[in-house]
Amino acid sequence: MSATATHDELRFESKSLDEAATVLGETYARTRISDRRQPCGTVMRIHQRTLTPDVRLDALEFGLGFSAAVDPLETLVFTELNTGRTRFDSQGQSRTYQAGESYLVAQPDQAYIGTVEDVTMSMVIMRPSLLDKVAATAGPAGVPIRFLGHEPTSPQAALRWRGACAYVRSSVVTLPGSEHNLFRSNAASLLASVALDCFANTASSEPTAQDGHDAHPLTLRRAVSFIEDNADRDIAASDIAAAASVSVRALQLAFRRHLDTTPMAYLRRVRLAHAHSELEAACGDELTVMSAAARWGFGNPGRFAKLFRDEYGRAPSEVLRSS
């Protein structure tokens, strides 16, 4: 066995299936392997990167075939199968996948039997509570959001999901400023948002009559004050709504009614203003455009530059050079 670890990254490799089962149990859920095929080389490789406490990015490779009974994961494991084949049996249903397909392994509270055949896969491991925070609803009577299927709702949705995953994986490693907490939390929220968009789920978005009554100017003032005081924190619409003492739907309706925007778009504009101020006040220090952008949660350089130019009429690099 070989293993290396840093504060947010782990690599593991083993030629022992029993050893691999132990690591799988410690990493995901208790795993009992059966119907194994005798390995002739490396059995398993894992590369884990922690994005935030709510999201981890895993790459997993099995160099053999086997079946395993797995206890409930208690997390959401979204998988992109790159090579090989997998099958999942749970609650009397069987699902099979091949290279190029994306899927949710199982509901967090469901045990399953998984079968793999010489696979490599990329996974997003997500705490279910992040979905409630990002979707800004816990459903009727506080019931957490639940996915209604295991595959994206269409081929286009599958492409959007894979594209978002590819962007986050590359940006976590390669983009300057990716160590900033706000950058990482925004990337995690992006994955949760795209998952909710691409996989059928129980999230509701219809405002009630009470929401309409609460969407008054005082709600807006409270929300704006909270956003401006907390733009440097990892906040979601649910946090803003709590500060304004209304539901998230009422909050969204207030912003739409009085400012013709959304709470998160307003937050993005406030963060953009902070990035602009930092670039304007750089005074020859070592600040770069991307470090300022990342500090305020903007991970896509092209998107940041466009938003900046649309708002201020100048490129961020121009503002930095003139400081």
Give the end of a domain, one of 110, 131, 152: 131
Above 90 in pLDDT, residue 179? no
C-alpha distances in Å from residue 168, one per residue of 37, 49, 174, 189, 279: 35, 11, 10, 11, 25
Residue 167 three-state SS: helix
Per residue in 295-310, pLDDT tens?
898 877 888 999 999 9
| Final residue belonging to a domain, choices 131, 153, 172 | 131
Q: Is residue 28 part of a domain?
A: yes
Domain contains 283: yes
Domain final residue, candidates 131, 149, 177: 131
Q: Which domain holds residue 280?
A: 267-321
Nearest residue to 238 via CA among 223, 228, 216: 223
1 pLDDT more than 70: no
pLDDT at 271 exceeding the cut of 90: yes
The kind and range of the H/E element at 52 are: strand 44-52
More confident residue, 323 or 275: 275
- Asked if residues 149 and 200 have their Cβ atoms less than 8 Å apart, the reply is yes
Rg, C-alpha atoms of the chain: 22
Neighbours of 164 (CB within 10 A): 19
- Is residue 279 situated within a structural domain? yes
Q: Are 100 and 121 in contact (CB under 8 A)?
A: no
CATH number at residue 126: 2.60.120.10
> How would residue 157 be classed by pLDDT, with cut points 50, 70 and 90?
very high
Q: Which residues pair with 89 in a beta bridge?
A: 94, 113
* DSSP per position, 191-223: HHHHHHHHS-B-------HHHHHH-SHHHHHHH
Instruction: Evaluate whether residue 171 is within a structural domain.
Output: no
pLDDT band at 138 (very low <50, low <70, confident <90, very high): very low
Query: How many independent structural domains does the chain possess?
Result: 2
CATH number at residue 308: 1.10.10.60
Q: What is the pLDDT of residues 187-245, one digit of tens each?
A: 898 899 899 989 998 876 566 778 888 889 999 999 999 999 999 998 888 889 889 99
Mean pLDDT of 280-291: 80
Q: How far is CA 318 from the centre of its chain?
A: 32
Whether 223 maps to a domain, the answer reads no
- Residue 297 placed within a domain: yes
- Give pLDDT, residue 184: 87
What is the reported pLDDT for 320? 86
> Residue 109 domain-assigned?
yes
Residue count of the chain, please give it: 323
Would the pLDDT of 142 be above 70?
A: no
Residue at 72 is within a domain = yes
